[in-house]
């Protein structure tokens, strides 16, 4: 029996194999066939949407050669009658790794505790970075893999774009069919796309070790590739850049995988004139407007978070509303794309396996994805996106014969896909069950017995003679088995109930007539299905042999198909901005208003000093006036009696709201930019608003001597990454000295191998970097001069080759030209003096020394240099370079004439910066006004934004805090934190939001519990961790659910 | 005149000496009377314009007025309305065990292994740590020196912060056994490429934690049986070290933050009748009634902390103390910040006062309550008759950094030198920049 099936299967394959390739010698007898078929009487949906009834499609040599109504079956074609059946173009998945070699686990980020791999280990004339694998061509390593192809075919796919998903540049992808043929024949387009990502994949090279490093590497590679076109002899052969250039003409696909990364990718594209096709994640619905603005086509997966088991309140305790609400809303991601009018393709990527495709797609459709859009996203859009619509994506003459034969409209839940034809080859998905009423004749020695068989499904039938008989019926492939016996005489109702197959149990051979087990004496029939007449053999109740036939009589009359009940779309909560607790729903986002604070004690930070019983008017986002008895029609009036108004707090040194902080892969990384990877979903933005913070300067970490470019933010909670940025701010950059850059406090196996290892080496890194920068600047100057000269002389300029653009050195040149300002992590006097000396020698300046806990020892030198100082109030003794730190530091520096700020470097302390400033009154006796300036006006000065913020003066930004008490007192709470005249934190509203949040949590926990009780699979509750980025040099009081980003890199 | 003389004397002393010669004060003999003081007794009371009489290191009388005997050995301090408090107590600390956390050679807080009930912190306590004097400057006069670890870490001892050596310093030796509850939260693992968010994996951490705790319980069961034995064939030092715990001369400090960790800790009360103290307690606000019912004390390790969950009230860590107070749970506030080493404990309490405690309740959380929890409230923790004269004097409200300025401190009546390394460096560099002149000196 088993053997027979195998043989049959073999026959099927041989019968439909494509033409042999002419260049390949044949072992045996030539057997040329052209696969000439005509599919008649079908309902054909050429583009998957519009229907042609009673139509015919003719295919030959794997291509469609005719399609339409009224066509004749050509001579030589095998007719396949598709009466009652539907034909669709098969689906296309353009984000697959089908047929690609598997990869080993790779790299990760920079780790303070390990030796970095500083150079590429790739052998051959490739570029410097292992993560740039632009030379890889997927079609060269592609191999047909039937066990992977089959589930995709069964789901309805006929062609995929596959690539090796490894590296930041991943080379090219290839379009292949899912036919089980030779690789030569299934490749539809060899070089079909170029692929990119932010993940360096298997590369273990240290650089890049951060999101911003990945971005910088991509940007630099675009520049290098452009430069390489002029074949600069000093570069020699660089296959990576060569391939990069060659790949630029292809569709460019970027795997971004989440909403902010989507935007980051798109911005790189914008810079270099590339419109990426973006591989999305499952959270784009959280920022769909921003997605729309990219103008990109997206590739959207349909994998959704699973419900968690949160029945135990102690488990639910650690699951955030962020996770629960994402679970609730993620299935609507594709619908959000559709609603926003964003073109997109669907992909099976992220699904555990292709079997999940249909349930997931149905879920997406339940959440609002329309049938039309789903079909388009599976056929036309991917084909058009890749420029292969002339080959696949619809059923038109000349296209590849990739199509599905189904029992009905494809998105109908009861519809079955019978066959998936790929390149003109039939692949059976699900055998058609020969339902219907059959007349059965059993021929025994005693004569013929007549029965009626009503086949309902492959394992269910009613079988009766004069009475209904107890039967067991099954169809397996072409084989059929019918066992039957008379009904037992008496059926005890209770026993009957007891035997009824339980839901979820193993109910085999369920019969139409009875569920009783058949006795040993049952008559057993076995046979072969063959169209309308079946034949077979068997044994009767006594074991005598018999033969039998079954002849089709008529179809089963179905009850008129009731209109498939359209499932109600699920009721869900709303998206909040940001997608975090305390985020605003779209219509609740705070708006700029005219605000009048009356009768408060106003700390102006101007020569007026502290004014009692004074009003502050904020209008159009600016401070309109500070004075007595102010009024403004329509203003929101806040009573400030007994309260204090100060400018918003500015944190000079923060690491919140970024996707990465440390690019430690090299000692000089001035090319990386914090601003490239702002994360507006950081809850610490809101928490810091609650402490009166309005601006935070997000610094690169201290892993290397020349770190990355920093970003000043305004904490406009709810805004996107670009809108969080402080507009009109001249850029800064982070430098670092001392123990962190020489990696002293980490027990690195094998020791530190990244230069420098001493403060002497730190100084030399600085000298070297600025020497290179100056040479670079000179090289460009010479080029520009020569160019100008040629232009002036009206001579051709083509012979003049521009120098290579170096993003690292560009940033250093900006420093030399006073366009970018340094904030330098530093502690001890020797290194402070040393760096000042280098700066003087090389012609640049330290704008700010940050941390600077020994600043008090060299305050005079810093003053002479013109540097600002940004320090902690009372930290010390956590490492050797802070053993002489004193809380009087800020006061001494201030008295020595320096502009001094108190910073946090800590997400927790940042919300108490007013208290940290108060400590400078305690330790060293500066005046209270001067102390407050240390967290407001003074940092504004060192950030070069004191014309906009830092004091309360007419015309400055409306960044204001109303405190319940003296702002330097521990009893003071921020009641309102206002940025640009918009109230982003309102303590009274916060209380209400907390209540709403608790109610929403409860709703979601109950919904998840309902899901579990309803039998849906759930996973164990996952605590919602916060990933926190830090300087990596001191402890923090972060709570239980925080993971330091460094720990991730240790994993 | 006298005041000027004192000031002059102090500066002369500082300029001439490094911290190494900040001497522990000699035992106090005779009588000190503090008058004109706003006395915060630590037990909730405030005496305006009150007086305290100290004799031979003990508080002899406190009140609106106390009698001032005549004689040579009577010193009267008119503090002109300053704030007077009991010396602050840091209920958990690595003081004297860790000098610089980044330098392994200078850290002695954590022994290897998981079962170290026999380890004693007091023997490693370094009275010459430069950190100690910086705490005294902020009014901290005693600290509980706690060993770190996983599971049973050993015994803590309370020290007073003016001593020649640890033997002098010991205020309550081996008063607590420290049990660090294993984490019960599933930790995420990060897949290739990162960025795709955490994935949990591996064994259920709750089961693993329960199994660990079961091992600890089994250890105590065996220890109990061991003590029931009249004689032992072989001496077991680890069992022996638990004797005081069973005798209730020692408390069990369970370091626990989540509800399940705390519930597991409560089992130790039920099965072994230990006196239990929860250390950490960040989620203790969720089970205040249970803590009260089982008479369990809590040390809030770090109120200046971020909320546990994204969804938590942004000020939850600030409000937890008030929740415990409301339920009548005995609690103390600590400060385990690694960069400031405990010097801000008063401000941790001040924050609790800003978020629901009265100032006197907040004060109790860093004085009397801490003393009660450590079993030394008969000796210290409040300004009450018969207790050691552990007293600090501040210009203003000590809970608020804006006003806190400790001018004087007494440990067991000894007026201690409030110089510290940092003040000395300050003095040194004031000289460099001529800042004293600018101040009008």
Nearest to A1008 by CA among A999, A1021, A995, A996: A1021
- Residue that the structure tokens 């016996």 belong to: A485
Integer CA distances (angstroms), B338 to A81, B103, B158, B301, in order: 80, 13, 19, 12
Examine the domain organization and report whether B71 and B189 are in the same domain: no
- The answer to whether residues A811 and A820 touch, using CB atoms and an 8 Å cutoff, is yes
**Residue B148 and residue B94 share a domain:** yes
Kindly state whether residues B62 and B109 are assigned to the same domain: no
A 670-689 residues with CB < 8 A to B: 683-684, 686-687
CB B80 within 8 A of CB B405: no
Mean pLDDT of B107-130: 97
pLDDT digits (tens, 9 = 90+) for B96-114: 999 999 999 999 999 999 9
Instruction: Please report the pLDDT score of residue A845 as a whole number.
Output: 97
Residues B435 and B363 grouped into a single domain: no
Residue B250 has pLDDT above 70, yes or no: yes
- Do B45 and B115 lie in a common domain? no
| Mean pLDDT within B30-56 | 97
Q: Give the per-residue pLDDT at A14.
A: 39
Q: Is B151 left (phi over 0), alpha (psi -120 to 50) or beta?
A: left
B residues 292-311 lying closer than 8 A (beta carbon) to A:
302, 304-311
| A1006-1025 per-residue burial string, b: 16 or more CB within 10 A, e: under 16 | ebbbebbeeeeebeebbbbb
Instruction: Supply B80's token pair.
Output: 């002109």
Domain boundaries, chain A: 91-108+124-391, 436-488+517-554, 590-646+951-987, 649-949
Say what the ipTM of the complex is.
0.94
The answer to whether the Cβ–Cβ distance between B194 and A1048 falls below 8 Å is yes
Mean per-residue pLDDT for A797-803? 90
The pLDDT score that the predictor gives to residue B8 is 42
Structural contact between residues A578 and A684, judged by C-beta atoms closer than 8 angstroms: no
| Top-confidence residue, A485 or B135 | B135
Distance of CA B12 to the CA centre of its chain: 32
| Mean pLDDT (whole number) for B393-400 | 98
Look at residue B224 in the predicted model and tell me its pLDDT: 96
Tell whether B344 and B367 lie within a shared domain: yes
CA A313, chain centre distance (Å)? 30
CATH code of the domain containing B37? 2.30.40
**pLDDT (0 to 100) of residue A382:** 98
- Beta carbons of B135 and B90 less than 8 angstroms apart: yes
pLDDT of residue B197: 40
Q: Could you tell me the two tokens for A202?
A: 């298997």
Cis ω before B290 (30° cut-off from 0): no
Look at the block and give the residue holding tokens 């009423």. Answer: A437
Token look-up 């729309």 returns: A292
The CATH code belonging to domain A649-949 is: 3.20.20.140
| Domain span at B117 | 88-193+200-379
Residue B397 lies in a domain: no
Tell me the residues of chain B between 379 and 418 that have a Cβ less than 8 Å away from chain A.
399-405
Partner residue opposite B402 with nearest CB, options A909, A968, A1051: A968
Distance from the B333 Cα atom to the nearest Cα atom in chain A, whole angstroms: 15
Taking Cα atoms as reference points, which of A320, A321, A310, A304 lies closest to residue A1024? A320
Examine the pLDDT at A457 and tell me if it is beyond 90.
no
Q: Per-residue pLDDT averaged across A61-78, rounded?
A: 95
- From residue A266, alpha-carbon distances to A171, A259, A302, A731, A993 in Å are 19, 11, 22, 22, 34
- Residues B149 and B273 grouped into a single domain: yes
What is the structure's pLDDT at A478?
A: 85
Closest among A258, A107, A290, A109 to A660, alpha carbons compared: A109
Asked if A197 is an interface residue toward chain B (Cβ–Cβ < 8 A), one would say yes
Kindly report, residue by residue over A554-563, the tens digit of the pLDDT.
888 766 555 5
Which residues, including other chains, have CB under 8 Å from residue A359's CB and lie 6 or more apart?
A: none
Residues B115 and B166 in one domain: yes
Q: Which of B379, B406, B428 is the last residue of a domain?
A: B379
Q: CB pairs below 8 Å between A and B: how many?
A: 215
* Residues forming a β-bridge with A66: A58
**pLDDT at residue A452 tops 80:** yes
CATH class as words, domain A91-108+124-391: alpha beta
Contact B402 A261 (CB under 8 A): no
Q: How many domains does chain B have?
A: 2
Instruction: Write a three-state SS string for A646-668.
Output: EECEEEEEECCCECCCCCCCCCE
Top-confidence residue, A1029 or A883: A883
CA triple A563-A509-A474, angle to 5 deg:
85
d(CA A337, CA A343): 7
Highest mean pLDDT among A495-499, A790-794, A1026-1030: A790-794
* Whole-structure pTM value: 0.93
Q: How far apart are CA A745 and CA A1032, in angstroms?
A: 10
The rounded distance, in Å, linking the Cα atoms of A37 and B413 is 108
3-state secondary structure A86-110: EEEECEEEEEECCCCCCCCCCCCCC
What does the alpha-carbon distance between residue B194 and residue A109 come to, in Å, rounded to a whole number? 9
* Pick from B323, B199, B384, B45: nearest CA to A1051: B199
- Cα-Cα-Cα-Cα torsion A382, A383, A386, A390, nearest 10 degrees, comes to -170
B190 confidence band (pLDDT: 50, 70, 90): low
For residue A781, the tally of other CB atoms under 10 A from its CB is 10
* Minimal Cβ distance to B429: which of A857, A1001, A1038: A857
Which pair of tokens denotes residue A861?
A: 């030198």
Whether the bond into A574 is cis, omega within 30 of 0: no
Residue A2 confidence (pLDDT) above 70? no
Is the model's pLDDT at B225 over the cut of 80? yes
Cα–Cα distance, A847 to A695 (Å, whole number): 18
CB proximity A903 to B under 8 Å? no
Q: Give the distance, in angstroms, between the CA of residue A754 and the centroid of all CA atoms in the same chain.
A: 32
Tokens read off for B63:
């009140």
- What number of helices (H) and strands (E) belong to chain A? 26, 47
| Helix B421-432 vs helix B2-16: crossing angle, to nearest 10 | 90
The structure tokens listed for B429 are: 């560099």
At A5-28, the pLDDT tens digits run 444 443 344 334 455 678 888 888
Where would I find the beta strands (DSSP E) of A936-998?
A: 960-963, 974-979, 982-986
- Domain A590-646+951-987, CATH homologous superfamily name and number: Urease, subunit C, domain 1 (2.30.40.10)
Put simply, the answer to whether A860 touches B101 (Cβ < 8 Å) is no
Q: Are residue B208 and residue B314 in the same domain, yes or no? A: yes
Q: By C-alpha distance, which of B370, B389, B90 is closest to B251? A: B370
A976-1004, pLDDT tens digit by residue?
A: 999 999 999 999 999 999 999 999 999 99
For residue A834, give the 3-state DSSP assignment: helix
Task: Measure Cα distances from B355 to A693, B315, B351, B402 in Å.
Answer: 19, 8, 6, 17
Question: For residue B155, how many other CB atoms are within 10 A of its CB?
Answer: 27
Q: What is the mean pLDDT of chain B?
A: 92
The residue among A781, A786, A741 whose CA lies nearest residue A765 is A741
Q: Would you say residue B326 lies in a domain? A: yes
Half-sphere exposure of A645 (CA within 13 A, CB side): 32
- Determine the residue of chain B that is closest to A743 in CA distance: B102
Q: What is the residue-wise DSSP string for B262-311?
A: HHHHHHHHHHH--EEEEEE-TTGGGSHHHHHHTT-EEEE--SSS--SSTT
B351 touches chain A (CB under 8 A): yes
User: In Å, what is the CA distance from B283 to each residue of A318, B93, B301, B361?
Assistant: 11, 21, 11, 20
Predicted confidence at residue B24, as pLDDT, reads 96
Q: Which of B379, B396, B431 is the last residue of a domain?
A: B379
Fold (CATH) for A436-488+517-554: Lipocalin (2.40.128)
Instruction: Give the tens place of pLDDT for each residue, A608-662.
Output: 999 999 999 999 999 999 999 999 999 999 999 999 999 999 999 999 999 999 9
Asked if residue A451 lies in contact with residue A436, where contact means CB atoms within 8 angstroms, the answer is: no
Do both B359 and B274 map to the same domain?
A: yes
- Ranked by mean pLDDT, the top range of A432-436, A605-609, B197-201 is A605-609
pLDDT digits (tens, 9 = 90+) for A780-789: 999 999 999 9
Angle between helices B259-272 and B205-228 (to 10 degrees): 20
DSSP A361-397: HHHHHHTT--HHHHHHHHTHHHHHHTT-TTTSSS--T
Pairing state of beta strands B391-394 and B331-333?
unpaired
Among all chains, which residue has been given the structure tokens 């520009």? A784
Q: Exposure of B164 by Cβ count < 10 A (0-12 exposed, 13-18 middle, 19+ buried)?
A: exposed
Between chains, do A1039 and B314 touch, taking CB under 8 Å as contact? Answer: no
Question: Backbone phi, then psi, for A672, in 5-degree steps?
Answer: -85, 150
Tens digits of per-residue pLDDT, A27-46?
Answer: 888 888 889 999 999 999 99
B133 shares a domain with B94: yes
Which chain B residues contact residue A131 at CB under 8 A? Answer: none
Element (H, E) at B259: helix B259-272
Q: Is residue B407 part of a domain?
A: no
Cα separation, A273 vs A275, in Å, equals 7
Q: Does B436 touch chain A (CB under 8 A)?
A: no
Residue B409 belongs to some domain of the structure: no
pLDDT (0 to 100) of residue A352 = 92
Average pLDDT for chain A = 92
Give the model's pLDDT for residue B438.
58
Chain A residue with Cα closest to B256? A1040
Tell which residue, B105, B96, B92, B84, has the closest CA to residue B41. Answer: B84
Strand partners, A601: A644
The yes-or-no answer to whether A436-488+517-554 and A649-949 have a common fold is: no
* pLDDT tens profile A683-734: 999 999 999 999 999 999 999 999 999 999 999 999 999 999 999 999 999 9
Q: Is A633 exposed, middle or buried (0-12, 13-18, 19+ CB in 10 A)?
A: exposed
**pLDDT for res A254:** 98
**DSSP one-letter code for A634:** T
Considering the domain architecture, whether residues B370 and B304 belong to the same structural domain is answered as yes
User: What does the pLDDT read at residue A105?
Assistant: 64
Cβ(B419)–Cβ(B408) under 8 Å?
A: no
Residues within 8 A of B (CB atoms), A 947-986 only: 966, 968-973
* Sign, CA torsion A783/A789/A791/A796: negative
Of B134, B306, B340, the CB nearest to A1038: B306
In this predicted structure, the answer to whether residue A746 has a pLDDT above a threshold of 50 is: yes
Local confidence band at A1006 (pLDDT 50, 70, 90 cut-offs): very high
């Amino acid at each position: 029996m088993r053997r027979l099936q195998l043989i049959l299967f073999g026959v099927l394959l041989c019968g439909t194999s494509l033409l042999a390739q002419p260049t390949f010698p044949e072992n045996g007898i030539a057997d040329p066939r052209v696969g000439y078929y005509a599919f008649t009487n079908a309902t054909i949906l050429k583009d998957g949407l519009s229907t042609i009834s009673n139509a015919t499609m003719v295919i030959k040599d794997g291509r469609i050669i005719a399609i339409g109504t009224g066509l004749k079956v050509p001579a030589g074609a095998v007719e396949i009658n598709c009466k009652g059946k539907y034909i669709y173009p098969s689906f296309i998945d353009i984000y697959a790794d089908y047929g690609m070699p598997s990869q080993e686990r790779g790299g990760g980020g920079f780790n303070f505790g390990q030796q970095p791999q500083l150079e590429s280990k790739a052998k051959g004339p490739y570029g410097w970075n292992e993560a740039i694998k632009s030379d890889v061509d997927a079609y060269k390593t592609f191999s047909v893999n039937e066990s992977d192809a089959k589930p995709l075919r069964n789901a309805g796919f006929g062609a995929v774009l596959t690539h090796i998903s490894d590296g930041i540049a991943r080379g090219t992808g290839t379009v292949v069919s899912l036919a089980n043929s030779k690789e030569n024949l299934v490749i539809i387009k060899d070089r079909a796309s170029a692929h990119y990502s932010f993940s360096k994949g298997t590369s273990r090279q240290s650089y890049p070790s951060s999101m911003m490093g990945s971005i910088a590497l991509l940007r630099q590679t675009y520049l290098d590739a452009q430069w390489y076109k002029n074949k600069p002899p000093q570069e020699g052969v660089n296959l990576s850049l060569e391939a990069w250039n060659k790949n630029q003409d292809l569709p460019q696909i970027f795997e971004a995988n989440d909403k902010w990364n989507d935007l980051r990718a798109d911005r790189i594209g914008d810079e270099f004139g590339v419109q990426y096709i973006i591989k999305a994640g499952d959270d784009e619905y959280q920022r769909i407007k921003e997605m729309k603005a990219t103008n990109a086509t997206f590739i959207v997966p349909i994998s959704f978070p699973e419900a968690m088991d949160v029945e135990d309140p102690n488990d639910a305790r650690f699951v955030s509303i962020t996770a629960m609400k994402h679970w609730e809303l993620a299935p609507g991601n594709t619908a959000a794309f559709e609603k926003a009018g964003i073109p997109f393709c669907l992909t099976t990527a992220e699904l555990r396996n292709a079997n999940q495709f249909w349930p997931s797609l149905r879920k997406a459709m339940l959440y609002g994805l329309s049938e039309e859009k789903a079909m388009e996203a599976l056929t036309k859009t991917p084909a058009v996106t890749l420029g292969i619509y002339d080959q696949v994506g619809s059923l038109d003459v000349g296209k590849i014969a990739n199509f599905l034969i189904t029992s009905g409209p494809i998105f109908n839940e009861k519809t079955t896909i019978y066959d998936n034809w790929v390149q003109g080859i039939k692949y059976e998905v699900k055998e058609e069950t020969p339902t219907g009423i059959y007349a059965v004749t059993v021929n025994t020695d005693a004569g013929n017995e007549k029965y009626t068989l009503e086949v309902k499904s492959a394992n269910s039938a009613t079988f009766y003679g004069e009475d209904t008989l107890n039967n067991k019926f099954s169809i397996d492939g072409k084989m059929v088995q019918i066992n039957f016996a008379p009904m037992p005489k008496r059926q005890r109702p209770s026993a009957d109930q007891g035997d009824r197959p339980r839901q979820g149990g193993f109910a085999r051979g369920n019969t139409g007539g009875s569920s009783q087990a058949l006795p040993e004496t049952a008559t057993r029939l076995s046979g072969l299905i063959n169209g309308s007449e079946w034949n077979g053999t068997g044994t009767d109740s006594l074991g005598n042999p018999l033969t039998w036939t079954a002849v089709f009589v008529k179809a089963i009359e179905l009850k008129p198909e009731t209109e498939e009940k359209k499932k109600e779309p699920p009721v869900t909560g709303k998206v909040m901005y940001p997608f975090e607790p305390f985020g605003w729903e779209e219509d609740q986002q705070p708006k700029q208003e005219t605000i009048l604070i009356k009768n408060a004690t106003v700390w102006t930070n101007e020569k007026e000093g502290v004014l009692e019983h004074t009003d502050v008017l904020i209008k159009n986002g600016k401070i309109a006036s500070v004075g007595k008895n102010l009024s403004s029609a329509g203003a929101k009036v806040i009573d400030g009696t007994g309260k204090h108004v100060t400018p918003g707090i500015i944190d000079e040194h923060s690491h919140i709201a970024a996707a990465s902080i440390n690019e430690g892969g090299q000692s000089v990384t001035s090319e990386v930019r914090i601003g490239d990877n702002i994360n507006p979903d950081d809850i610490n933005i809101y928490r810091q608003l609650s402490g009166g913070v309005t601006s935070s300067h997000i610094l690169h970490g201290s892993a290397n001597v020349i770190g990355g470019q920093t970003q000043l933010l305004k904490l406009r909670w709810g805004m996107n990454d670009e809108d969080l940025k402080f507009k009109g701010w001249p850029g800064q950059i982070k430098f670092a000295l001392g123990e962190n850059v020489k990696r002293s406090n980490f027990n690195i196996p094998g020791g530190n191998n990244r230069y420098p290892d001493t403060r002497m080496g730190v100084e030399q890194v600085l000298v070297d970097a600025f020497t290179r920068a100056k040479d670079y600047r000179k090289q460009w100057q010479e080029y520009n001069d020569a160019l100008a000269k040629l232009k002036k002389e009206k001579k051709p300029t083509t012979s003049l080759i521009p120098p290579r653009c170096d993003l690292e050195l560009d940033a250093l040149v900006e420093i030399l030209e006073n366009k970018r300002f340094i904030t330098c992590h530093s502690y001890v006097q020797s290194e402070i003096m040393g760096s000042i000396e280098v700066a003087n020698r090389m012609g640049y300046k330290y704008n700010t020394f940050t941390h600077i806990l020994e600043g008090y020892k060299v305050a005079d030198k810093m003053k002479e240099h013109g540097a600002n100082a940004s320090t902690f109030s009372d930290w010390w003794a956590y490492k050797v370079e802070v053993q002489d730190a004193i809380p009087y530091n800020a006061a001494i520096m201030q008295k020595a004439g320096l502009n001094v700020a108190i910073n946090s470097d800590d997400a927790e302390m940042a919300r108490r910066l007013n208290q940290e400033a108060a400590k400078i009154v305690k330790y060293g006796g500066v005046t209270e006004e001067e102390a407050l300036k240390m967290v407001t006006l003074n940092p504004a000065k060192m950030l070069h934004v004191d014309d906009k913020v830092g004091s309360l003066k007419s015309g400055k930004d409306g960044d204001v805090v109303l405190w319940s008490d003296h702002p330097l007192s521990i009893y003071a709470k921020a009641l309102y934190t206002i940025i640009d005249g918009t109230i982003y934190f309102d303590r009274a509203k916060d209380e209400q939001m907390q209540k709403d949040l608790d109610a929403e949590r409860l709703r979601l926990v109950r919904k998840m519990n309902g899901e579990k009780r309803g039998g849906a699979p759930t996973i164990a509750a996952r605590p919602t961790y916060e990933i926190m980025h830090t300087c990596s040099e001191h402890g923090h009081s972060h709570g239980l659910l925080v993971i330091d980003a460094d720990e991730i890199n240790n994993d | 005149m006298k005041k000027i003389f004192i000031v002059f004397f102090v500066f002369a002393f500082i300029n001439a000496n490094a911290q190494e010669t900040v001497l522990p004060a000699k035992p106090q003999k005779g009588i000190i009377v503090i008058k004109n003081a706003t006395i915060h007794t630590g037990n909730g009371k405030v005496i305006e314009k009150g007086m305290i009489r100290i004799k031979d290191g003990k508080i002899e009388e406190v009140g609106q007025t106390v009698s001032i005997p005549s004689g040579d050995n009577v010193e009267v301090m008119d503090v002109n309305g300053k704030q007077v408090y009991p010396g602050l107590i840091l209920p958990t600390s690595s003081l004297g065990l860790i000098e610089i956390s980044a330098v392994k050679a200078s850290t002695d807080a954590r022994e290897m292994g998981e079962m170290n009930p026999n380890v004693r912190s007091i023997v490693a306590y370094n009275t010459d740590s430069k950190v100690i004097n910086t705490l005294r400057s902020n009014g901290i006069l005693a600290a509980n020196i706690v060993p770190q670890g996983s599971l049973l870490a050993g015994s803590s001892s309370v020290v007073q912060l003016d001593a020649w050596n640890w033997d002098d310093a010991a205020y309550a030796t081996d008063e607590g056994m420290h049990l660090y509850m294993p984490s019960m939260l599933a930790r995420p693992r990060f897949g290739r490429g990162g960025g795709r968010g955490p994935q949990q994996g591996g064994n259920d951490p709750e089961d693993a934690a329960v199994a660990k705790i079961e091992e600890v319980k089994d250890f105590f069961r065996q220890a109990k049986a061991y003590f029931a034995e009249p004689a032992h064939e072989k001496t077991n030092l680890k069992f022996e070290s638990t004797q005081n715990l069973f005798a209730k001369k020692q408390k069990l400090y369970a370091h626990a933050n989540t509800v399940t960790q705390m519930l597991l800790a409560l089992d130790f009360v039920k099965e072994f009748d230990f006196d239990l103290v929860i250390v950490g307690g960040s989620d203790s606000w969720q089970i205040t009634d249970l803590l009260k019912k089982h008479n369990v004390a809590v040390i809030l390790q770090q109120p200046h902390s971020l909320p546990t969950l994204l969804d938590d009230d942004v000020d939850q860590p600030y409000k937890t103390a008030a929740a415990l107070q409301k339920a009548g749970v005995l609690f103390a506030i600590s400060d385990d910040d690694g960069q400031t080493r405990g010097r801000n404990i008063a401000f941790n309490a001040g924050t609790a006062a800003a978020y629901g405690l009265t100032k006197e309740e907040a004060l109790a959380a860093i004085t009397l309550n801490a003393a009660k929890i450590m079993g030394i409230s008969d000796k210290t923790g409040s300004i009450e008759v018969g207790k050691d004269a552990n007293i600090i004097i501040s210009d203003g409200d000590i809970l608020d950094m804006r006003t806190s300025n400790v001018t004087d401190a007494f440990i067991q009546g000894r007026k201690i030198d409030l110089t510290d390394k940092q003040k000395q460096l300050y003095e040194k560099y004031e000289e460099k920049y001529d800042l004293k002149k600018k101040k009008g000196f």
